[in-house]
Structure 1
């Protein structure tokens, strides 16, 4: 596995903490299912179990941060196709207008069990909103994956 930058490791830790709803330091099968559901990924119980087994290298039945990091780090070094990025963007762009608004971001985060304050939502939008129009375009979204 290639070495992650501090920023990448911090992003993965933030994502892990978002999915670890009970703050146990582990992602359970139900937390993994909730995460997939929040992203509109329809998975059967068997598919969730297979994903959990693939990530759970110590066979504990849960995913700790190192297992999560090892599984997810590959995505930091992968170049995504335009179709993959478009599909991901569409999951956030609920109204299909070509932009992710703070309301859409709030909705997806809420479905993941993370309730952000208006200040946190605005800070997230601002960090990606390169042209400062108050919303995230597809091109701005893609900068997350460069």
Structure 2
């Protein structure tokens, strides 16, 4: 029978974050030894700050959930989601507002919402106002027209 340590709940949440990765694979992603992961998951030790930061930065872990539990849950971001977050963070406030409006409108199937062309070309539709259009830089026609 395995005896649980004082941090067993934290260990279970870390194990959930690890998902299908082996302890060795998870440890390699964090830059630690596999024995460290075993210690965390058995509740005998807590991860150090640098390991927690990697969990947050590279795996999208909610550290409040990992360390404190509660109602929240962690979600690992896909590479596509990570790219979207990076672009969003680098965008101007106007572009952030437009992108959020487009996602909210499209997600709720608002009437009149149209997203067409390549990403970044044109978004048109209803974003809680009439005749809402965002033009985010259409491709220019050959010949500089």
TM-score range normalised by the length of the shorter chain: under 0.3
Larger proportion of helix: 1
TM-score using structure 1 length: 0.27
Choose 1 or 2 for highest CA Rg: 2
